[in-house]
Chains A and B, each alone.
Chain A
């Protein structure tokens, strides 16, 4: 009996079913990020923000980059981060000041979200005065140009490849909402934190976001939590044998037995909003209604954190998304709708008449809908589009349409195309 055809069939089967590559992109930078601004004073940080031309390193990161500061507040400590966004492969740099160094030094990592490329990076901030590079001390004379020069490399390799950025122009000042999907980005883009976790909320502004969309569901015992999918599954959580709808489990069961894919706990809605209001500069939260059930508990939390933001002197807009007729029914069942900002994903007629929603958010796959968008804006409504990730279409929508903001998994790309728009 000739057995080799059987081996051939077996090998073929294994090749087909057994070779799915698992991609990973671990962040090579381990910090620590030391709180405090160090030598990066407020005026220096403000003067650094802008659109830069890339001279060395444009083969890898394109010919221009956006440079923007953000921060993360933990207790009394504030850590400042410099983000840089390139137009290729949804690239971002996350850099922290090095207060222990006696110059304007930055260190961190870079990552291309559309693939798995990542690496370490370190920079010094200088200025070009009369054609000569000098250390920047916060004062620029006429004709002086800021230069951010440094090194990068792949993965954990010590940075040795040159990357030089030369200041070109200020950021586009037009107001525009850069909304990050699933609290900052989706897990399948191999971000360092899981989608819909407190950790990704704290990362979101470093990814360019000015606001976030978060997915809200209830546990069996009625605790509002953040989770996107209908079921517990290995896309989002570490393997533990549990499956089925998350609504079947109590909060105690979830918090003790379930960890998100990068090891985080599933956060409650209150923990998420606390992080937004207290820890981040984010100014907009879109509560996507994934649950079917009463909206009153969500409304109460919305009110609580709007008040908390106001007490802290922060202008944070928290809106409840109405994506479906079921959610519309839940909203209409509320006893008191005052002081309850909403966002309508339904058609223009329902948005205008039934809901009178101040925000309308159609799908991007319907196109720019320029006439409808203009009409809604004339009525004083804000119009966002969701969930737009395709890089060329992000550019087209920013340059050719009239939306007030874009919800995307690639807030880095939205930031790049918005801030470089002239």
Chain B
């Protein structure tokens, strides 16, 4: 009598479903269950994602001394799916006199119905101009790179968690004060950042992102005009809140 071979259920990364099941479900997937910006799931090819919000950065005491405030910036995100897994991301943070633009690529894939991962590489360009009579005649710009890895967990149908780790590489810095200018060309690891975000519906069908980011870096573009000189990573905690459009 032929012996029935027991079903070999190969676990995919030990997360509860076989690789075949995950792949089948991924094939069936038509649209994400809910809008997201930070959650590591690619938009459909050709699909746009947008969000608008605010990001608050707490000032480190080493730089701003007794002035301890949370500095707000307008935070705009724009993403577009290129393939099933690959998408391009853009992020503009602006305080009008100083701006930061991220452009990057992400490759995202589901590990199971609940777990998702992505890897990405963002290039950041920032610039600021400050001209105040008898106080400032300065401008600066620079380029940094943010390679990043994200993990997402879909807690319920409407609540998604995301954790992201970024390395911050400073690549180029230029500043001009009056007629004098300086440049730093040396690429260096400036620091790391950890971000955590929740994405969920807020009211009616409006979805939001609520997150925190802790950056430990030698430089932060928002404080270029203070010309800090510390060669040690400083702590820049951020709170961000955005409406996914």
Asked if A and B touch directly (CB within 8 angstroms), the answer is yes
- On A, residues with C-beta under 8 Å from B are 2, 5, 8-9, 12-13, 15-17, 19-21, 23, 89-90, 112, 114-116, 188-189, 229-231, 233, 235-236, 346-347, 362-370, 389-393, 396-397, 400-401, 409-410
CB distance from A67 to the nearest CB of B (A): 24
17 pairs of residues in contact across A and B, judged by CB atoms under 8 Å: A2-B155, A8-B196, A9-B161, A12-B194, A12-B212, A16-B194, A16-B213, A20-B235, A21-B233, A89-B231, A188-B230, A189-B230, A365-B138, A365-B177, A365-B225, A390-B182, A396-B181
B61 interface residue, CB < 8 Å from A? Answer: yes
CB distance from A49 to the nearest CB of B (A): 27
When the two chains form their complex, are residues B182 and A366 in contact, meaning their CB atoms are under 8 A apart? Answer: no
When the two chains form their complex, are residues A367 and B161 in contact, meaning their CB atoms are under 8 A apart? Answer: no
When the two chains form their complex, are residues A368 and B231 in contact, meaning their CB atoms are under 8 A apart? Answer: no
Residues of A within 8 A of B227 (CB): 365, 389-390, 393
Determine which residue in B65, B163, B180, B216 has the highest number of CB atoms from chain A within 10 A of its CB, and name it: B180
Contacting chain A: which of B48-56, B70-78, B129-137?
A: B129-137
Residues of A within 8 A of B196 (CB): 8-9, 12-13, 15-16
Complex Cα spacing A12 to B161, Å: 11
Please name the residue on chain A nearest to B238 by beta carbon.
A16
Which one of B66, B134, B163, B180 lies within 8 Å of A401 (CB-CB)? Answer: B180
Complex Cα spacing A363 to B194, Å: 37
- Number of interchain pairs (Cβ within 8 Å): 114
Residues of A within 8 A of B232 (CB): 23, 114-116
Contact with A along B129-157 (1 / 0, CB 8 A): 01000111110000000000000010100
When the two chains form their complex, are residues B135 and A365 in contact, meaning their CB atoms are under 8 A apart? Answer: yes
CB distance from A107 to the nearest CB of B (A): 27
Residues of B within 8 A of A12 (CB): 163, 194, 196, 212
Please name the residue on chain B nearest to A362 by beta carbon.
B134
Complex Cα spacing A114 to B232, Å: 8
Residues of B within 8 A of A392 (CB): 182, 184
When the two chains form their complex, are residues A21 and B216 in contact, meaning their CB atoms are under 8 A apart? Answer: yes
Residues of A within 8 A of B22 (CB): none
CB distance from A12 to the nearest CB of B (A): 4
Determine which residue in B135, B177, B194, B235 has the highest number of CB atoms from chain A within 10 A of its CB, and name it: B177
When the two chains form their complex, are residues A368 and B179 in contact, meaning their CB atoms are under 8 A apart? Answer: yes
B6 interface residue, CB < 8 Å from A? Answer: no
When the two chains form their complex, are residues A393 and B178 in contact, meaning their CB atoms are under 8 A apart? Answer: no
Given contacts A12-B194, A12-B196, A346-B134, 17 further A-B contacts (CB under 8 A): A8-B163, A9-B198, A16-B213, A19-B214, A21-B216, A21-B233, A90-B229, A114-B231, A115-B232, A231-B66, A233-B66, A235-B61, A364-B177, A365-B136, A367-B177, A368-B179, A390-B175
When the two chains form their complex, are residues A5 and B153 in contact, meaning their CB atoms are under 8 A apart? Answer: yes
Which one of B134, B137, B182 lies within 8 Å of A396 (CB-CB)? Answer: B182
Residues of B within 8 A of A409 (CB): 229
Residues of B within 8 A of A19 (CB): 214, 235
Please name the residue on chain B nearest to A413 by beta carbon.
B229
Which 8 interchain pairs have the tightest Cβ spacing?
A367-B178, A12-B196, A392-B182, A16-B214, A20-B235, A114-B231, A115-B231, A229-B66
Complex Cα spacing A370 to B179, Å: 9
CB distance from A290 to the nearest CB of B (A): 12
Please name the residue on chain B nearest to A13 by beta carbon.
B212
Complex Cα spacing A8 to B152, Å: 12
CB distance from A16 to the nearest CB of B (A): 4
Complex Cα spacing A362 to B181, Å: 18
Within 8 A of A (CB), among B219-245: 225, 227, 229-233, 235, 237
B20 interface residue, CB < 8 Å from A? Answer: no
Residues of A within 8 A of B194 (CB): 12, 15-16
Complex Cα spacing A9 to B159, Å: 13
Q: A5-B153, A12-B163, A89-B231 are in contact. Are A366 and B66 (CB under 8 A)?
A: no
B62 interface residue, CB < 8 Å from A? Answer: yes
Please name the residue on chain A nearest to B225 by beta carbon.
A365
Residues of A within 8 A of B61 (CB): 188, 235
When the two chains form their complex, are residues A410 and B229 in contact, meaning their CB atoms are under 8 A apart? Answer: yes
Q: A15-B214, A367-B179, A369-B178 are in contact. Are A114 and B230 (CB under 8 A)?
A: yes
Complex Cα spacing A236 to B153, Å: 44
When the two chains form their complex, are residues A229 and B161 in contact, meaning their CB atoms are under 8 A apart? Answer: no
Complex Cα spacing A366 to B232, Å: 27
Complex Cα spacing A253 to B175, Å: 46
When the two chains form their complex, are residues A16 and B237 in contact, meaning their CB atoms are under 8 A apart? Answer: yes
CB distance from A104 to the nearest CB of B (A): 33
Residues of B within 8 A of A235 (CB): 61, 65-66
Complex Cα spacing A15 to B175, Å: 33
Residues of A within 8 A of B135 (CB): 363, 365-366
Complex Cα spacing A111 to B179, Å: 33
Please name the residue on chain B nearest to A188 by beta carbon.
B62
Complex Cα spacing A120 to B217, Å: 29
CB distance from A229 to the nearest CB of B (A): 4
CB distance from A345 to the nearest CB of B (A): 9
Which one of A20, A391, A396 lies within 8 Å of B180 (CB-CB)? Answer: A396
Residues of B within 8 A of A116 (CB): 232
Please name the residue on chain B nearest to A233 by beta carbon.
B66
CB distance from A13 to the nearest CB of B (A): 7
Determine which residue in A236, A367, A390 has the highest number of CB atoms from chain B within 10 A of its CB, and name it: A367
When the two chains form their complex, are residues B161 and A8 in contact, meaning their CB atoms are under 8 A apart? Answer: yes
Residues of A within 8 A of B233 (CB): 21
